Structure 1
Amino acid sequence: MNFPLYFSKKIAFSKDNKNNLSKVIVHIGRLSVALGIIVSLITISTGLGSKRAIENRISNFSGDVSVKSTRSNSSYNSSILDTKGLDVNALKQIPEVAGLQSYASVSGILRTETNFAGIILKGVGKDFDKERFQPFIVSGSIPDYKEDGYNNEVILSEKIANDLSLKANDSIVTIFSKEDQKPIYRKFLIKGIYKTDIKLVDDLYMIGDINHVRKVMNMGENEVGGLDVFLNDTDKIDNAFPQIEQYIGYRNYAEKVTEKYPQILDWINIFNQNITLIIAIMLIVVVINIIMVLLILIIERTNSIGVLKTMGASNAQIRSIFINYTLLIMVPGLFAGNAIGLGLLLIQKYTCFIKLDPENYFISTVPVDLNPVYIIAVSVGIFIVSGIAMILPSYLISRISPLKAIKYS
């Protein structure tokens, strides 16, 4: 028989100890562990989920990496991408690259009878990834851009459409202007309405035919303003980026999506900091609670410790008793915390009942990332850290004198 384990169960679950202080202490310890697990799971899953959702939205719209001409400036009008040294086929062969998409952009003004809005027309061509863009469509459909003549159908953001009281299948006049030239007017049909929840995108961009941008910018029929490079895994951007730079030519440069939108990078970094801070706080709280619980149990069982030592129990055996105490306190708390935490996260994942303001958070609902690695790591981490915290109280047991323990009981 395993004496330490038997004794731990006896004093923790004995019916004779129903109103015993140890019974209350055990429940307090389990509650603290369960709360630590719940808060940690929610923090990690929603934090990583939000981070990934924001990265995926912006990368699906603009690519993980953009290739531009070194002549590009701070304006939204594209400079012509230099083809010298640019090897598109080699870029497509990079293992991390999922696809390429050419584009050219020009700034303009949308005008209605009562209102107007500044926009950037992002012209795309026959390599436009409609499947990747489809999740952003809230009404209407995506036009076919075949670069055969001029397609007058565009995709407008929901934000701009609402500001101008427009909807799918409405017509809109766009005005483009260049230095020393008369304004250029184009009439477009709004084929679809999109929404990314990324304010920096929804406030500005309209998707249209690249040939219209080429005409306005006096570009050749095969010239483009840049390339959007999509990766299979956004997390591997640091590995893919140097390889991409090798095939773009010295007159072009590559830009990560996080560098293109530094405000979003700052927001993502806040998620990382918050996750680290909250988990650290919860670990400290759980450890302190476990230490306090064990110290109280030691004080309460001082007489029992003295008796056990008198009967020949070794210090190692007595320490094992209190280590088993920790297990009895923590394991049910771990199971309960995981059950409750995962239950709440699953409810949010499939119902999206907690909403956010995309103006401030770049997303409209709280996303959940149920990564099993992190879920297991939370439980194992708290278990190990709490176990290490057990070492000091267990050695204090060794210093208890049997004679004094029995004498003052």
Structure 2
Amino acid sequence: MSPFELWVGLRYTRAKRRNHFISFITGTAILGMVIGVAALITVMAVMNGFDHTLRSRILAVTSDVIVQGNGVPVLDWRESEKNLSQVQGVTGVAPYVQAQAMLSHDGLVSGALVEGIDPQLEGRVNRLAQDMQAGSLDALQKQPWGIVLGSALARQLGATIGSKVTLISPKGGVTPLGVTPTLRQFTVVGLFSVGIYAYDSGMAYISLPDAQALYNLGSGVTGLRLQLQNPFAAPVFAARLQKILGPAFYVQDWTQTHENFFKALAMEKLVMFVILSLIIAVAAFNIVATLVMVVTDKEPDIAILRTLGARPRSIMLIFMVQGVIIGLFGTALGVLGGVLLALNIPTIVPFIEQLFHVQFLSPEVYSISQLPSRLEPADVVHVAIAALLMSWLATLYPSWRASRVDPAEALRYE
């Protein structure tokens, strides 16, 4: 592009419009571009925030890798713990027992996933101790038949610290009347909250010896949890460990445990990107309409430039400059607005909720009760590139049409 095309294109952009309708369409195109870019950046930041927050909270109560016996309890878990602790990349190993149960208190009943843990070893593989609201995990060792409940589960049962809850295990004894469930009374010694309703309303922890006695496991455990130096390397590590341990064990990493959830989140992010990109596409169509009207309005000027020796390519570039300027201006304002909005979502959303007395995300429905935001520079760049590409493509047809104007026909009635 020569300085001539750039200078004329910029001059046309700065010139006062004789047709106010063209100015209105131009403003609409810029506004649409601003709204589309800002909305897309904000939504991408919110989706990134959900992804990051959920990963962090899930890893707070689950481990990077779990090793289970293939359908049978792990009996020699102490030897396995010693061997796994020496594997490169492993920072912690802890045993656990896991089973389904029903909990009852004051006539209220709720299902729960009960896990038997060793409080001293559990801190090596997750951050559950940091999420305790009341009591402590260590109380499981001090209090015989003690239990730690999720905060939402405790509310469902109407239980607090010191309450007596009855655990009903489906793995009962065999009698002449059939299989009878095992009932055992536990004392609530702690409450935890990780911020994910599914865990806070469906998890309970007891001591490892109590779980082994309750489920008749002897000295066995359901499996071992592993903490890694790099949690995001868990899939590769788990696959390698499975080959080493062989078919006698089943190895699963945290991405497999929540595979469907994170796939759904990634798909939702992609769909939101495509849908909100349509706003930018609509703004690009407005650029097409604007430039078509400008070309019609400037036909005499185009004819004069052609008679002075301007080539069709130069005419095309002149009007492409106009469209690109509209796209640049709209994209720049949209990026600025989107970044500012994304960075201030944690402040803006609570203010709106307090102002109108509403709650956008109920903790009983959604995994996260507060709208998170995590702005990724790469997403901002991708959105800006997509907006600029659409605005550039929108200039092609009007510019080509301008280059095809016949000077004689355009000046006939002038």
Separation in structure 2 between the aligned mates of residue 28 and residue 3 of structure 1, nearest angstrom: 28
Q: Which amino acid aligns with 2:122?
A: F
Match of 1:203 in 2: 201
Distance 1:4 1:151, change over 3 A: farther
Letter of the aligned partner of 2:193 in structure 1? Y
C-alpha offsets along residues 137-157 of structure 1, whole Å, 9 cap, x if unaligned?
Answer: 4x21432279x6866543211
- Residue by residue over 1:257-284, the C-alpha shift from the partner in whole angstroms, topping out at 9 and shown as x without a partner, is 4544566356425524522431442343
| Change over 3 Å in CA distance of 1:18–1:56 after alignment to 2 | farther
Query: What are the Cα deviations for residues 132-187 of structure 1, in whole angstroms up to 9, with x where unaligned?
Result: 225644x21432279x6866543211222111112245443434452327835242
Partner of 1:226: 223
| Counterpart for residue 386 of structure 2 | 381
In the superposition, relative to structure 1, how do residues 241 and 348 fare at CA in structure 2: closer, same or farther (>3 Å)? same
Partner of 1:12: 13
Equivalent residues in 2 for 1:341-352, closer than 5 Å = 341-350=338-347, 352=349
Q: How many residues in Structure 1 have an aligned counterpart in Structure 2?
A: 397
| Structure 1 residue matching 2:122: 3-state secondary structure | coil
| 2:294 maps to 1:297 | yes
For the residue of structure 1 that corresponds to 2:127, the secondary structure is: helix
Would the aligned equivalents of 1:45 and 1:370 in 2 still touch at CA under 8 Å?
yes
Asked if 1 retains the 8 angstrom alpha-carbon contact of 2:63 and 2:254, the reply is yes
User: Aligned residue for 1:76?
Assistant: none
5+ residue gaps in structure 1?
A: 73-78
Counterparts of 1:71 and 1:281, CA distance in 2: 50
Match of 2:152 in 1: 159
Deviation at residue 229 of structure 1 after TM alignment = 3.8
Match of 2:105 among 90, 98, 112: 112
Q: Is the 8 A contact 2:197 2:363 kept in 1?
A: yes
Counterpart code for 2:293? I
The TM-score normalised by the length of structure 1 is: 0.83
When the two structures are superposed, what TM-score results if normalisation uses the length of structure 2? 0.82
Deviation at 1:299, TM superposition (A): 1.9
**How far did residue 39 of structure 1 move?**
2.0
| Cα deviation, residue 356, structure 1 | 1.0
Q: 2:361 aligns with which of 337, 356, 366?
A: 356
| Aligned partner letter, 1:110 | L
Find the counterpart in structure 2 of residue 189 from structure 1. 188
- Name the residue aligned to 1:172: 165
> Does structure 2 retain, via aligned residues, the 8 Å contact 1:68–1:227?
yes
Q: Which residue of 2 aligns with 1:75?
A: none
Secondary structure of the corresponding residue to residue 109 of structure 1 = strand
Question: Are the aligned partners of 1:67 and 1:228 in contact in 2 as well (CA < 8 Å)?
Answer: yes
Q: Kindly indicate whether residue 2 of structure 2 is the aligned counterpart of residue 37 of structure 1.
A: no
- Determine the structure 1 residue equivalent to 2:371: 366
Shift of 1:329: 0.8
Taking only the aligned residue pairs, the percentage that are identical comes to 19
- Deviation of residue 207 (structure 1)? 1.8
* 2-structure distance, mates of 1:85, 1:171: 36
Instruction: Report the residue type matching 2:106 in the other structure.
Output: E
Shift of 1:370: 0.7
- Please say if 1:309 is aligned against 2:306: yes
Question: For the Cα contact (< 8 Å) 2:97–2:211, is it kept in 1?
Answer: yes
2: distance between equivalents of 1:23 and 1:224?
74
User: 112, 117, 122: which is aligned to 1:124?
Assistant: 117
Q: Is the 8 A contact 1:358 1:364 kept in 2?
A: yes
TM-fit CA distance, 1:358? 3.6
Q: What letter is aligned with 1:26?
A: T
Say whether 1:243 aligns with 2:237. Answer: no
The 8 Å contact of residues 85 and 249 in structure 1, kept in 2 or not, is answered as no
2:328 alignment partner in structure 1: 331
Calculate the aligned-residue CA RMSD, in Å: 3.3
Partners of 1:100 and 1:306 in 2: how far apart?
A: 80
Q: For the structure 1 residues 262 and 5, does the alpha-carbon distance in structure 2 shift closer, same or farther, using more than 3 Å as the test?
A: closer
What secondary structure, in the 3-state scheme, does the structure 2 residue paired with 1:179 have? Answer: strand
Distance across 1 between alignment mates of 2:86 and 2:322? 59
- Residues 29 and 284, structure 2, Cα contact 8 Å, conserved in 1: no
Q: Distance in 1 between matches of 2:78 and 2:244?
A: 10
Give the SS at the match of 1:52: helix
Contact 1:112 1:173 in 2 (8 A): yes
Query: Which range is displaced more, 203-212 or 189-198?
Result: 189-198
* Distance (whole Å) between structure 1 residues aligned to residue 131 and residue 268 of structure 2: 24
Equivalents in 1 of 2:279, 2:206: separation in Å?
Answer: 50
Displacement of 1:22: 4.3
CA deviations 1:229-254 (Å, max 9, x no partner) are 44566655543332232344321112
How far apart are residue 213 of structure 1 and its match? Answer: 0.8
Which residue in the other structure is 2:60 paired with?
60
Structure 1 residue identity aligned to 2:35: L
Q: CA 1:8/1:266 → structure 2, altered by over 3 Å: closer, same or farther?
A: closer
Long gaps (5+) in structure 2 = 175-179, 354-359
C-alpha contact 1:91 1:247 (8 A) present in aligned 2: no
AA at the equivalent of 2:38: I
Map 1:51-90; keep pairs closer than 5 Å: 51-71=51-71, 79-80=73-74, 89=83
1:133 matched residue in structure 2:
128
Q: CA deviation at 1:291?
A: 2.3
Instruction: Name the amino acid aligned to 2:406.
Output: S
Change (3 A) 1:385 1:155: same
CA contact (8 A) 1:91 1:244 kept: no
Aligned to 2:50: 50
Secondary structure at the residue paired with 1:106?
A: strand
| Alpha carbons 1:81, 1:226 under 8 Å: kept | no
Secondary structure at the residue paired with 1:63?
coil
Counterpart CA distance in 1 for 2:22 and 2:7 is 16
What CA distance in whole angstroms lies between the structure 2 residues aligned with 1:287 and 1:342? 21
